[in-house]
Chains A and B, each alone.
Chain A
Amino acid sequence: MTVEQNFEALDQFPVGMRVLAVDDDQTCLKILETLLRLCQYHVTTTNQAQKALELLRENKNKFDLVISDVDMPDMDGFKLLELVGLEMDLPVIMLSAHSDPKYVMKGVTHGACDYLLKPVRIEELKNIWQHVVRSRFDKNRGSNNGDKRDGSGNEGVGNSDQNNGRANNRKRKDQYNEEDDEERDDNDDSSAQKKQRVVWTVELHKKFVAAVNQLGYEKAMPKKILDLMNVEKLTRENVASHLQKFRLYLKRISGVANQQAIMANPDLHFLQMSSSHNGLDGFHHRPIPVGSGQFHGGAPAIRSFPPNGILGRLNTPSGIGVINLSSPPAGMFLQNQTDLGKLHHVSSLPLNHNDGGNIPQGLPLNLEFDQLYTNNNNNNIRNMNNNKSITGSSMAFPSFSTQQNSIIGAPNNNLVVLEGHPQSSPPGFLGHQINKRLEHWSNAVSSSTLPPPAQNSNSINHQFDVSPLPHSRPDTLEWNNVSSSYSIPFCDSATTLSPPPALDTTNPRAFCRNTDFDSNTNAQPGGFYDTLQTRQSGNYCPTTDAMLSSSNPKEGFVVGQQKLQSGGFMSAEAGSLDDIVNSTMKQEQSQGDLSGGDLGYGGFSSLRTCI
């Protein structure tokens, strides 16, 4: 862009800034809408938080700013705030009639960039655009600093794709002046050169997680991580901010789940989340005491999986996909946890929680971990949830439990726990996604499926859609870019899995990570679980079950879990997971590698969907 363009754009902004307003009170909503229109913003309104989330997930770049009421019947405003921040990384302004400083504090700690009191005055609304600019600016600054450009420390232009024109231009303009922006040429585009936002693809996330694991969660420092990751064009700032998000994610998860347990084993955490201790063998060598309980009930809590450990696992552990499908009907494929060792054995999943299968949680996480990570904890949670649900907790995922993965049949092998990530999205959401995925998966699986069981589990079709970690992180990372396409990278070999139909892209896709299933590509440690992360609500396809069974015992593909369908399981997190899933899904796209066996797919969206 030329400077002129920038100026022009600059002139326009904040006019036309796209705002999403959420308030259950019709009167206030109408007034707010009118006021915003008067400020010449482009306004979309909804009186339901869920609807708002859907709109946002549908297209992250559709909005610049979100204004939300605090008291809403269907979802707490603060929760929405968190989710938006994580998944979409958009600035959110809280609105309330409560002037109590406690609420204001809560808003701030949950990430709100401002807190307005009702009745809202137009003067206050006239300035809200500053938050958009500021957030872009900060992001750029982060990535810019490390950028090669070392010249000016410009704060990075808000490359964000969003609104390229407006804020970006503005920022860019400044930058132009200061730096030599050779890269700046296309400010508008998010071309790689510019300090654009780093897209945390699943693969990248995996690397990140692996690095963190290697260093040790507690000791992971951005610089070291960066070195370990050895990714060109990645700056220390990128890593730092990602790490921060990751930690938040974990914290969030652990908040719900067993914190100690989780923290203790960061890796396990994820796994643990799944509550199934068993499964984890592969993962972390530790049964995840955590989760089990949690999953079931808490589902989302798990989110916080400590990515570290898990990720590491992902690669190695065999198939993770342990889907803890609720009450293990399936006989838990994983039963053998030990077998699974690698996989989290989802098998036991059904067990309520997987005693055996628990892995799902962890497992998928691991694999997904990367992905999940990016996806933000959501995913993790998702996975977790999945696990949970799988195991019986099905709570969230109703479907899960029922579904129980047929997969479980696969014995220890890397059970592919198809955890459907309970994505935050409403159960329905997941369900269908999962279903889709599952179907997809199943198809894939069946067709290619499970490659020779011998593999060690790989055969299981990784197809699991690894739905990106439920909590996928904010868009920026794009973990989940995969949206829908993700699915099945795993199937890399043999499986012809056709990438899972874009399940609702928005949904966190259940990744079908076939990745390791095929045992091939990845070292497959155990059969990888292809976390069927179908996370998405979509039930992924029950077919996964089919897949699972066929899959080698090794793989223990938890696919069965997919049955979860109906997002039931996903629902656990529903809120968060969905987000995660979505995010993970997004990532999926990038997953291509996944098949490589890294389920790491951020979205560990666990197989759940598969169910």
Chain B
Amino acid sequence: MQRQVALIKQSLFDQGYLDEQFMELEELQDDANPNFVEEVSALYFKDSARLINNIDQALERGSFDFNRLDSYMHQFKGSSTSIGASKVKAECTTFREYCRAGNAEGCLRTFQQLKKEHSMLRKKLEQYFQLARQAGPKETARRPK
């Protein structure tokens, strides 16, 4: 079971969903903070869901206030970076570039992509955490070297 967990984790990294930062977070997890990573992830998804909502609304309005969008995205990028969600982060960067270029179409497209990545990551992480919990505490933190 633990091996399975490890495999899943490995794949997440390999596929680029997660990066080094996630590993760092895992290292922070210890007996004192047994579910640290999971908690942080939960927090991240909650926050980011809200952000996504805001952005959605802003885009729907059609007004395309690029500055505002850019600042939302900056925030999004910040938290994604902190948790190590690299694909999401990449989409954020792209989105911001479109914002800066004033490319509404590009923004919309990127945003769709971003949402996709985001929900994909969420699913995978949930799956991962679930398994990890089942497997028992030890395995989670270490990444197979």
Residues of A within 8 A of B (CB): 24-28, 30-31, 34-35, 38, 71, 96-98, 118-122
B78–A30 CB distance below 8 A:
no
| Chain B interface residue count, Cβ-Cβ cutoff 8 angstroms | 22
Contact B28 A25 (CB under 8 A): no
What residues of A have a CB within 8 angstroms of the CB of B36 in the complex? Answer: 34
Cα–Cα, bound, A122→B78 (Å): 17
Residues of chain B contacted by A97 (CB below 8 angstroms): 74, 77-78, 81
Partner of B40, one of A24, A31, A38, A96: A31
Known contacts: A71-B71, A97-B74. The answer to whether A26 contacts B43 by CB under 8 A is yes
Closest to A121 in B: B24
Q: How far is the CB of A99 from chain B (nearest CB, A)?
A: 11
Task: Pick the residue among A27, A35, A120, A122 that contacts B44 (CB under 8 A).
Answer: A27
Ranked nearest first, the 6 interchain pairs of A and B with the lowest CB-CB distance are A97-B78, A27-B79, A27-B44, A119-B82, A28-B82, A119-B81
What A residues does B77 contact at CB under 8 A? 97
- Closest Cβ–Cβ distance, residue B43 to chain A (whole Å): 5
Is B21 in the interface zone, CB < 8 Å from A?
yes
Q: Which of B43, B77, B84 has the most CB of A within 10 A?
A: B43
**B33, A27: Cβ atoms under 8 Å?**
no
- B→A interface (CB under 8 Å): 21, 24-25, 28, 33, 36, 39-40, 43-44, 46-47, 71, 74-75, 77-79, 81-84
7 additional contacts (CB under 8 A) given A24-B75, A30-B39, A119-B24:
A25-B82, A31-B83, A71-B74, A118-B82, A119-B81, A120-B82, A122-B28
State the CA gap A34–B28 with chains docked (Å).
Answer: 7
Q: Is the CB of A38 within 8 A of B81?
A: no
Give min CB distance, A409 to chain B, whole Å.
Answer: 48
Identify 18 residue pairs between A and B in the complex whose beta-carbon atoms are under 8 Å apart, listed by A's number: A25-B47, A26-B46, A26-B47, A27-B44, A28-B79, A30-B40, A30-B43, A31-B28, A31-B40, A31-B82, A31-B83, A71-B71, A71-B78, A98-B74, A118-B82, A119-B21, A119-B82, A122-B24
A27–B75 touching, CB < 8 Å: no
B24, B46, B79 — most chain A CB neighbours (10 Å): B79
Shortest distance from the beta carbon of A432 to any chain B beta carbon, whole Å = 33
Contact at A27–B47, with CB atoms within 8 Å?
Answer: yes
In the complex, which residues of chain B have a beta carbon less than 8 angstroms from the beta carbon of A118? 78, 81-82
Nearest chain B CB to A540's CB is how many angstroms away?
38
Pick from A27, A98, A122: contact of B82, CB below 8 A. Answer: A27
Nearest CB in chain B: distance from A381 CB, A? 28
* Most chain A CB inside 10 Å of its own CB: which residue of B40, B78, B79, B83: B78
